[in-house]
Structure 1
Amino acid sequence: MLRMSLQTFRDRWTLFVGALLSIALGVALVQAGAVVIDGAGSPPAGATPAESAELARSFDDVNAIMGMSLFLGLFLSVFIISSTFSFTVTERRRELALLRLSGASRANLMTLLVGEGLVLGVLGSGLGALLGTVVVRGQLWLLGNLDLPADRLDVSFSPWLLVVDLGVGVGVAVAGVALAARRASRVRPLEALRDVGQAARVMTLGRWLWGLGMAVPAVAAAIGSQTSSDMLTSVLLGFAVIFTGSIALQQLSPLIVPGVGAVVGLALRPSVVGDLARSGLRDGVRRTATTAGPLIVLVGLVVGLMGILTSQTAAATVEREQTTKGEIVVESTGASVSRIRSTPGVAVAAATSTLPARILLPRTGRAAQPMKWAEVVAVDPAGYRATTDLAPKTGRLSDFSDHAAVLGPGAAVSISPKQSAVVMQVGSVTRRLPVVAHLPETVGPGPDVIVPRAVVPSAVLAKAPTQTVVRVAAGTSVATVRDRLRASHVGMVRDLHSWSAEQSRQQGDENVSVMGALAGLGGVYALISVINAVAVGVSQRKRELAVARVTGFSRAQVVLAAVVESLVVTAIGLLLGGVVAATCLMGVRRGNESALGVPVLDVPWMLVIGLGVGSVLVVAATSAVAGWSSTRPRPVSLVAGRE
């Protein structure tokens, strides 16, 4: 049977191209991720304490990004390969039935299919190992664009990675084919030959379990996101909607796609070619569902993830404007603060300087514990209170003075709200400061610890990057003060809205780049699966297309009907994926409204249009090429026999 697996793979390699590419991509991602994570193990020898702290924080970010990439890559590999093999095995049911009739047992059949998976896994591992050397360069490029220390990573290749590659490739392939092999071996051979009974059943037990098992949490998450008053909860529930909703619709697509296709097919009836395409939609339920499924995942995953990020970036802009009481913001160094304050028309100039400081957390009866990384800013307590409209969740801002500290929004997940004091080390200065308040989390990132400028050496403040919020004196024109500040060359001068939007854009770019890369990864997998499903589905219909030609259709009409059918299925997949993304984003909009008082939603329309146009072009081209290739033989030679 193993020799037959090799023979089958050689003779019918076109059925396995999509799965082979999926495995190779999964292996390449695992290899590249393992190389990068191994290289980000620890800061290099000879680094100063400040450099070590910065690199440790950056390496944590690198490991988090690579970890998400590895998880998504493995998940999609198994998911897509399982779907691809299920469709491929189903399309070969007559071939497998003939093997059973010729004496092959169920165990022989499973050995044949698992053997094909092993061959696929070995070949995919080899291709993935070669592709991994290219992928790691792409990941380093991405990390460099995120201002992470890609040049400080040791990305040398180790021989043990070949073992990992082989294990991942073979493991993913066997896991993907195992369920399809077991189901195929249980089909009675006569049922498969006649396409009745269990062989004709599209909604298998596994599809029902997966579909309903994912539909229940998807509906619960959708309802929860609409009723939650917490922004973070709505976002997390939105992520749940994306993954569970996409999988649920993909698994239940044999129930949904035919109904939607029947409605769409009414518009095709007046045309002869359209009527042929409508017949294909009606009769090829398994084929249409297999094609629409990856598109549902593609749109739901990519549009949903990117929509969450763009919406939260817009929400951060609104929040920053709501919590900042000022009209102008100046970006400079600490040396310019005095000049800003002395500018005519400036009533309040509240400076916030980012410090190269180290924070230690005192513990009762034990030595202070250093934080791995903390963003520390220095402010004037009175000016900070005058320009900040953010109520603390514990403590009082009125107690903030030159001898105390405040835990900022960024400390919510790293420092306990019950922390009573912090120790700040900046240069040769060490100060212990009692904590008098703890600010709540915000949509955008915020500092971990806020300290008074009075405890920071003036030389450090003079060089520190500083943002100064300016409140204009009553009766003075904002434009006049802005022009005076620009004329004095104190730094980059912006109005509050422009500054807030720029801050959100800069802080959102990193998240969008990371999530865009992950969403793009999901998109590549989905497109591979779509191309494979379309190519296999059309190429396996040679006899059906030949019958249409014998009855009077021309070759061009038959190919055009296949293209039209594929495009209708594509439209259905995009529509259902859009339902998943829209459900997710409406929950995010509701969460933003609960937190900010105004509904905030930013749909990435250019991405939506690009996905739609790209999917249509890819599917149309694939179905046209597969249809033209499948209609190359003379129709009479195919009508008389079974494939």
Structure 2
Amino acid sequence: MWRLIIRNTLARRGRLALTLLAVLLGVTFVTGSLVLTDTSQRLLDEQFRTATAGVDLTIREAVAFDSAMGVEVERDPLPAEIVERIRAVPGVAAATPVVRGQGLLEAGGKAIVPSGPSLLASWEPAPVGPFTLRSGRAPAADGEVVVDAATARQHRIGIGAEVTVRAERTARLRVVGLAGFAQADGLPNSTVALVARPAAQRLLALGTDVSEVAVVAADGADVQRVRGAVSAALGSRYEVSSSRDIAASSAAAAQNQVSYLQVMLLALAAAALLVGAFLIANTFSIVVTQRTRELAVLRAAGATGAQVMRSVLGEALFVGVLASVAGTGLGIAVASGLRRLAGAFGMTLPGGGLDVTARTLVVSLVVGVGVTVLSALGPARRAARVAPVEAMRRTAAEGVAGRSGWGRTTIRTVAGAVLTTLGLAGPAIVLAGPGSVVVLGGAAVCAVVGLALLGPAVTPGMVRLLGRPLAVTGVPGRLARESAARAPRRTSATALALAFGLALISFTTVLGASIRESAARSYTEAVSADYVVESARNEMLGGLPEHAYHHVSELPQVAVASRIRYGHWKDGQTTEALTAVDPVTLPRVTSLHMVAGRLDALSDNTAGGGIVLAANVAKERNLTVGDSIAMTFSRTGTQRLRVVGLLRDRDAQALSTSYIVSLDTYQRNYKEHVDASVFVKVADGVSDAEARKAIEGALADSPTAQVRDQAAAVAGRTLMIDQVLGLVTVLLMLTVLIALMGITNTLALSIIERTREIGLLRAVGMTGAQLRWMIRGEAVLVAALAIVAGVALGVAFAAGTVAALGRTSEATLMLPAGQLLLVVAVAALAGLLAGLLPARRAARLDVLAAVAAS
């Protein structure tokens, strides 16, 4: 039986080639996603572990939590005298003070502004320092600096060059060496400047204080006992951590973005495999139909129905194994391309050798083989149920037409109608009010299954309706319409594969446009400032030096300037963000609408300050003005803030968070002292051009600061949305590619079963050009059916998702007609192209041989 399976598969390798390619692409996606994320996580672990390999303990100021939303919290410096206290503890061999902070690099008179941090740190030799020299020497004098090799290479900074470092103070320094971090030439999306410790303290205005102390235990000493002794000597104000724990925490914070990317990639891989499953099932259904008589001969020769079923599944297993092995190998190679693609959309990942685990290989093989075999299960069962005599009597066309028991067809149609109705009811329920995203998830599953079951029943009517315009082309157009209608199962499965890909793209397009439009609308409605000063890096926590606000606010061309800061806090195990504002100046640059309470009540600093909540958050938490809320800050621990007001949701969205405190409250609970935005209102009688020039002049010593009008400010806020949706859309094109291969494959297989029909058409006078147009017209009809179903499905679920999001934040449905029309046009053109090869093959058939075919 296995020899027969292999021989049959190889004999039909042309028919199964595109099926194999669909499985291969899906498995490639899965493998590449797993390899990419595993590699990134391993590299980050290795980098931070290597960076702390020579240190046993690290002493820092104690905080309630280390990091939030992938950002490590800033801590207060340590007094210099603490170093001697640590050295006096038994078991401590060495205690080395370390200084680090933010320091912007300038080279050639131009600021180097990475998307990540600009690190300034003291140079510490091994084993304490995480950086190793690649060339040159360590900084010794006050005017010397070592730069990371990646930055030096990118900006052509050589040893002996002069650079400027801007921290709390500014200095012109000479480059004496280039350094790397672990095996890498630098930190991702960052610049690194390493100077002597006194120089770092001076540039960061720390006096004699230090950022942390690195401790090396004496040979033979028990590190845990030394840790306990140091903790007892210093007290609870200081945190004594294992350097291994700190490395793990830092790596976890850096891996935060990678985990999001993994979820996104695997979700897209699942979508690609779902589309591939329709292609696989359709291909095997057609192939089984074409082999009806062959299978009947096997049954007549003594093969049981179970053996016939195993033979079909065996072919699927053979194809699945072959495609999965090839896809796994290709996926490993594609992982590097995915890393570069993610980088192109603003998600820079660490570089290094790829990490291929046994889990990745097993998962990829199981997924590829499983999807292929399960997709072939239906055709295999149908093949096993056919009686030998009936099979010998049946023609291929009859089989493709989908004749089956009346009862089974009715059950399938009724079940499909019910599930499709439930699926489409999901967005309607959410739009009506009570539903949520969970309801939409269940409805999406019902819609997919329902359409797959209902498709054959409604396809003939839909095809004849959509195919009416083809009638104007004459006989080829009418034949194309009837050909697609008389094979409803085949047409339905082919169209649905493309429809689901188009649904995902339409969903992403509408959802992205709606989120972008909602963010822009809420911002422009709430913020009335003429200009916004922000960091060029678009950092959540900010990046504007504190003096930038003071310089701008003191300009005579500025009527008022109001600054905003952001911070993270813990709500149990959940991390939330808050916005800090000046309640006195903010109303002059915004148009905020209070639902209850007063914004200026934030200025009342009694009992640790107050907080204004977005109205929807107050409703969720069942809070009103006068109640209090417990918030855990990294620096001060758990504090209770009194609710002094409720803000309209759209206005809270414009301020980026649902929790608003005063700058005074922020100052008491946070170490960070950088601003995120400065809203500027131009003085009366001053032109916009004059004001902008004055503001930019005042910010000349703040290279990271950008002056933006409202349009540019909105663009900065939606940049991340655009990047993520752009990456998703590019990757979703893979599902559309697989679906288009399905159209090509289905038409190619249908030509085999319609060989005699095509020969007769040519014999009665149909030209090769007419035949080619008939096949291409059938491909366009399949694409049109997919466009109608896919775009409608995508828009409906996007509308439901926007409505669900609108329960907790302002969200307005936006239908980007231009982008949706582009999707429709591309899909129609792609459908036409998908029919080119089958049409060409049909036109080349020998007429006499085709007429004589059985």
Query: For the residues of structure 1 that align with 2:803 and 2:382, how far apart are their CA atoms?
Result: 43
**Equivalent in 633, 637, 640 of residue 424 of structure 1:** 633
In structure 1, distance between residues paired with 2:353 and 2:622: 38
Superposed, which structure 2 residues align to 1:32-71 within 5 Å? Answer: 32-39=32-39, 40=41, 43=45, 44-45=48-49, 46=51, 50=72, 51-52=250-251, 54-71=253-270
Change (3 A) 1:173 1:599: closer
- Report if the CA contact (8 A) 1:287-1:537 is conserved: no
User: What is aligned with 2:642?
Assistant: 436
SS class of match (2:303): coil
Find the aligned partners of 1:138 and 1:445 in 2 and give their Cα distance.
37
Q: What pairs up with 1:69-88 in 2 under 5 angstroms?
A: 69-88=268-287
Q: 1:221 to 1:538 in 2, by over 3 A?
A: same
Number of the residue aligned with 2:212:
none
Give the alignment of 1:211-226 within 5 angstroms. Answer: 211-226=416-431
- Contact conserved, 2:275 with 2:497, CA < 8 A, in 1? no
- The Cα shift of 1:80 comes to 4.1
Mapping of 1:43-192 within 5 angstroms? 43=45, 44-45=48-49, 46=51, 50=72, 51-52=250-251, 54-151=253-350, 155-192=354-391
SS of residue paired to 2:350: helix
> Is 1:516 aligned to 2:719, yes or no?
no
For 1:181 and 1:57, the matched residues in 2 are separated by 45
- 8 Å contact 1:379–1:453 — kept in the other structure? yes
Q: Which amino acid aligns with 1:493?
A: V
Summarize the alignment of residues 555-570 of structure 1 with structure 2, pairs less than 5 Å apart: 555-570=768-783
| Alignment partner, residue 380 of structure 1 | 582
Letter in 2 for 1:122: V
Partner of 1:194: 394
How far apart are the structure 2 equivalents of 1:181 and 1:446?
A: 55
Structure 1: runs of 5+ lacking an equivalent: 362-368
Indicate the residue corresponding to 2:678 in structure 1. Answer: 468
Q: CA deviation at 1:6?
A: 0.8
How far 1:536 moved relative to its partner?
A: 1.9
In 2, Cα distance between equivalents of 1:377 and 1:394 = 18
Q: Tell me, in whole angstroms, the C-alpha distance in 2 between the residues paired with 1:444 and 1:121.
A: 51
Q: Does 1:302 align with 2:501?
A: no
Output aligned runs, 1:161-310, within 5 Å.
Answer: 161-192=360-391, 193-195=393-395, 200-201=403-404, 204=409, 207-208=412-413, 211-228=416-433, 233=436, 244-245=446-447, 248-269=450-471, 271-310=474-513
Larger of the two Rg values belongs to structure:
2
Q: Where does structure 2 lack aligned partners over 5 or more consecutive residues?
A: 53-57, 59-65, 67-71, 73-249, 536-543
Question: In the TM superposition, what is the alpha-carbon distance from 1:459 to its structure 2 partner?
Answer: 12
Instruction: Decide whether the 8 Å contact of 1:301 with 1:522 is kept in 2.
Output: no
Asked if the contact 2:23–2:273 (Cα under 8 Å) also holds between the matched residues in 1, the reply is: no
* Structure 2 counterpart of 1:581, one-letter code: G
CA drift of 1:141 comes to 2.1
Deviations 1:160-198 (A, max 9, x none): 533333322222222111222112211334444425699
Residues 210 and 248 of structure 1 are in contact (CA less than 8 Å); yes or no, is this contact kept in structure 2?
Answer: yes
1:370-407 residue CA offsets vs partner (Å, 9 max, x unmatched): 86x65565433433466566668998755434543648
What's the CA shift for 1:546? 0.9
CA spacing shift, 1:417–1:485, aligned 2, 3 Å: farther
Cα deviation, 1:237-262, whole Å, max 9, x if unaligned, reads 66766665455445433233322332
Taking structure 1 as reference, are residues 576 and 374 closer, same or farther at Cα in structure 2, changes over 3 Å only? closer
* Deviation larger for 264-273 or 338-347: 264-273
User: Offset at 1:137?
Assistant: 1.6
1:327 maps to what in 2? 530
Q: Is the 8 A contact 2:771 2:842 kept in 1?
A: no
Residues 431, 387 of structure 1: alpha-carbon distance in 2 compared, 3 angstrom cutoff:
farther
Q: Which has the higher contact order (CA 8 A, sep 6+)?
A: 1
Identity between Structure 1 and Structure 2 (%) = 24
- Offset, 1:76: 4.0
Pair 1:635 & 2:847 matched: yes
The reply to whether residue 446 of structure 1 matches residue 659 of structure 2 is no
Cα shift at 1:316: 1.2
Judged with a 3 Å threshold, the aligned counterparts in structure 2 of structure 1 residues 410 and 24 are, in CA distance, closer, same or farther, namely farther
Bigger proportion of residues as strand: 2
Amino acid at match of 1:257: T
SS across alignment from 1:349 = strand
Segment drifting more, 396-405 vs 277-286: 396-405
Cα distance, 1:22–1:219 mapped onto 2, change above 3 Å: same
Q: Describe the shift of the 1:527–1:430 C-alpha distance in structure 2 as closer, same or farther (beyond 3 A).
A: same
Q: Flag the 1:591–1:58 CA change in 2: closer, same or farther, 3 A.
A: closer
Q: Aligned to 2:708, which of 488, 491, 494?
A: 494
CA contact (8 A) 2:631 2:641 kept: yes
Query: Does 2:520 correspond to 1:317?
Result: yes
Query: Structure 1 residues 397 and 68, CA, compared in 2 at 3 Å: closer, same or farther?
Result: farther
Q: Which amino acid aligns with 1:494?
A: R
C-alpha deviation, 1:112, in angstroms: 0.6
Asked whether the 8 Å contact 2:740–2:831 carries over to 1, the reply is no
Say if 1:406 and 1:436, in contact at 8 Å, map to a contact too. yes
1:420-439, Cα deviation, whole Å (9 max, x unpaired): 333434xxx64764333487
Q: Once the two structures are superposed, what CA deviation does each residue of 1:132-163 show, in whole Å capped at 9, x if it has no partner?
A: 11321232223334544510687422345333
Change in CA separation of 1:128 and 1:395 when aligned onto 2, cut-off 3 Å: farther
| CA offset digits 1:41-99 (Å, max 9, x no partner) | 77432479634464143243234324424543454444543344334434443443343
Q: Which amino acid aligns with 2:419?
A: M
**Partner in structure 1 of residue 13 of structure 2:** 13
2:115 equivalent in structure 1 = none
Match of 1:366 in 2: none
Whose helix fraction is larger, Structure 1's or Structure 2's? 1
User: Is 1:351 matched up with 2:542?
Assistant: no
**Offset at 1:12?**
0.9
- 2:602 aligned with 1:400: yes
Rounded to whole Å, the distance in 2 between the matches of 1:84 and 1:261 is 20
**Deviation of 1:116 (Å):** 0.3
- How far does residue 269 in structure 1 lie from its aligned partner after superposition? 4.2
SS in 2 for 1:564: helix
Work out whether residues 249 and 296 of structure 1, in 8 Å CA contact, stay in contact via their aligned partners in 2.
no
CA distance in 1, matches of 2:284, 2:462: 26
CA distance in 1 between partners of 2:318 and 2:593 (Å): 62
Aligned length: 622
CA distance in 1, matches of 2:464, 2:372: 36
Quick one: which amino acid aligns to residue 792 of structure 2? V
Aligned pair in 2 of structure 1 residues 68, 592: CA closer, same or farther (>3 Å)?
Answer: closer
Q: Which moved more, 1:148-157 or 1:321-330?
A: 148-157
Which residue identity lines up with residue 470 of structure 1 in the other structure?
V
Structure 2 equivalent of residue 3 of structure 1? 3
Aligned-pair distance for 1:468?
A: 1.1
CA contact (8 A) 1:80 1:529 kept: yes
Question: 1:400 is paired with a residue of what secondary structure?
Answer: helix
Distance 2:828 2:276 in 1: 23
- C-alpha displacement at 1:538, in angstroms? 2.8
Q: Per the alignment, do residues 634 and 522 of structure 1 end up closer, same or farther by CA in structure 2, a change over 3 Å counting?
A: closer
| CA–CA separation in structure 1 for the residues paired with 2:490 and 2:27 | 28
The 3 A distance-change label for structure 1 pair 399 and 191 is: farther
- 1:283-336 deviations in Å (ceiling 9; x for gaps): 333343333222322222211222111221111111222233433322251321
CA RMSD of aligned residues (A): 4.1
